[in-house]
Amino acid sequence: SGSIMVKDLADQLGVKANELIKRLIALGVMAGVNQELDRDTAVIVATELGATVEERATQEEQEELILQGEDDSPESLTERPPVVTVMGHVDHGKTSLLDRIRATRVTQSEAGGITQHIGASVIEWHDRKVVFLDTPGHEAFTSMRARGAQVTDVAVLVVAANDGVMPQTVEAINHAKAANVPIVVAINKIDLPDANPDKVRTELSNYGLIAEEWGGDTIMVPVSARTGEGIDQLLEALILQADILELKANSHRPAQGTIIEAKLDKGRGPVATVLVAKGLLKVGDVFVAGSVYGRVRALINDRGQRVKSAGPSMPVEVLGFNQLPEAGDDFVILADEKQAKSIADARQERLKRQSESAGRGVSLDDFLQRL
Ligand code: GDP
Ligand code: MG
């Protein structure tokens, strides 16, 4: 439980410290300007003096309800592809593995087409889709999760068979565990003469990851990003893991998702890649993303093609933002632009107030929420 100083509370409420002290005395609390008030006292006196505090909370709650939209009935849900993040120690082969996985797709259908980079790729494997995020795993987990966004369904933990478990391997395991995301292990570089997959299995067992073939429940696939060995088995394992998770979403409702990257493009203005969590995102849709808003002018898929819509689990580049959003921001389709603008503006206003009061040390909103 926390406390707030009388003068800070007065500041936050926009009243004179004297006035606040009078109120406190009326409540039977004898306090000076430098005195700390406990939570209950602060809330009581703030409610008496600062009706706006209550109003703000209600308004924010209302906005959140609007953004949340309707709940999806179980019947409305259909299967969606898994979203996968690749994690692991530096140089264990994360980038090589992603490149190799992407190459399976290029040879299949694109005849050497150069793909535009949008921060995620959709792989088709035996009529099933798997979405890979390009963001280095740690960033995807730490920065996005810090902002309350969870976009990953499955983590691929890459461990080099000639090197074994290293500090960032352990970090990755901890991130995935904290996020409650299942891990599929790719024991990489098995083409090397000094590769020792069993040593990797043994080391991982010290961190609670027991290989299936050893009676545990972690799928571990020996692979080589260099030769391509085991890549099919890895994709198969990811599909299997997705089936276990029974990933589903309503693909007909107005879309919701998360910004996974954003940049200011010289020619096109603010563009961002959205990972759709549910619903169908369409050209012309009006949206709020964090504290910015807009109308979808164009959608571009991971192959650089313009598309009219994007469904659950799909990454898609969106044009039409009024300003640049941030990775980790929520992205929500709304019925009308006025509403989108008003919510974005209110959020921006709140952010501004928060950073102003952060400068002064205490934010009443934060304070009341924290306790
Ligand atoms: P990252 O830091 O985890 O993204 O690792 P990289 O993909 O950049 O790979 C680091 C180094 O390991 C590079 O020199 C790769 O060529 C090499 N490498 C990656 N995968 C394999 C593999 O399966 N076998 C071999 N022999 N080398 C690999
Ligand atoms: Mg890399």
Q: Residue 92: nearest ligand to its CA?
A: 1
Residue of the nearest CA to atom 10 in ligand 1? Answer: 91
| ipTM topping 0.85 | yes
136 is in an annotated binding site: yes
From CA 157, how far away is CA 235, in angstroms rounded?
Answer: 13
Residue 158 alpha carbon, nearest atom of ligand 1? 3
Residue 136 alpha carbon, nearest atom of ligand 1? 4
Residue type, 48: E
User: What's residue 11's pLDDT?
Assistant: 87
Residue of the nearest CA to atom 14 in ligand 1? Answer: 91
94 is in an annotated binding site: yes
Alpha-helical runs (H) found in 36-133: 39-49, 51-68, 94-105
281 neighbors 299 (Cβ within 8 angstroms): yes
Residue 227 alpha carbon, nearest atom of ligand 1? 23
- pTM for the structure as a whole: 0.81
User: What's residue 136's pLDDT?
Assistant: 65
Tokens matching residue 222: 């020996």
Q: Ligand 2 centroid to 92 CA: how many Å?
A: 8
Q: Residue 225: nearest ligand to its CA?
A: 1
361 is in an annotated binding site: no
85 is in an annotated binding site: no
Residue of the nearest CA to atom 9 in ligand 1? Answer: 93
User: What's residue 193's pLDDT?
Assistant: 98
Q: Ligand 2 centroid to 343 CA: how many Å?
A: 38
Residue of the nearest CA to atom 18 in ligand 1? Answer: 93
User: What's residue 47's pLDDT?
Assistant: 82
Q: What angle do helix axes 137-146 and 167-178 make, rounded to 10 degrees?
A: 40
CA 324 to the chain's CA centroid: 17
- Please, which residues have CB less than 5 A from ligand 2, an ion? 94-95
User: What's residue 371's pLDDT?
Assistant: 47
284 neighbors 256 (Cβ within 8 angstroms): no
- Which among 176, 241, 232 has a CA at the least distance from the CA of 209? 176
**CB atoms < 10 A from the CB of 39, how many?**
15
Please indicate whether residue 162, judged by its CB atom, sits closer than 6 Å to ligand 1.
Answer: no
From CA 357, how far away is CA 279, in angstroms rounded?
Answer: 37
Total H helices, total E strands in the chain: 11, 19
Please indicate whether residue 94, judged by its CB atom, sits closer than 6 Å to ligand 1.
Answer: yes
Q: Ligand 2 centroid to 85 CA: how many Å?
A: 13
Please indicate whether residue 188, judged by its CB atom, sits closer than 6 Å to ligand 1.
Answer: yes
188 is in an annotated binding site: yes
Please indicate whether residue 226, judged by its CB atom, sits closer than 6 Å to ligand 1.
Answer: yes
Q: What is the DSSP letter of 6?
A: H
Q: What residues of the chain score a pLDDT lower than 70?
A: 1-2, 50-57, 105-116, 136-138, 140, 357-371
Q: Ligand 1 centroid to 117 CA: how many Å?
A: 20
89 is in an annotated binding site: yes
From residue 243, how far is each of 178, 239, 246, 252, 277 by CA, in Å? 22, 6, 5, 21, 17
Geometric angle at alpha carbon 273, from 267 and 279, rounded to 5°: 130
134 is in an annotated binding site: yes
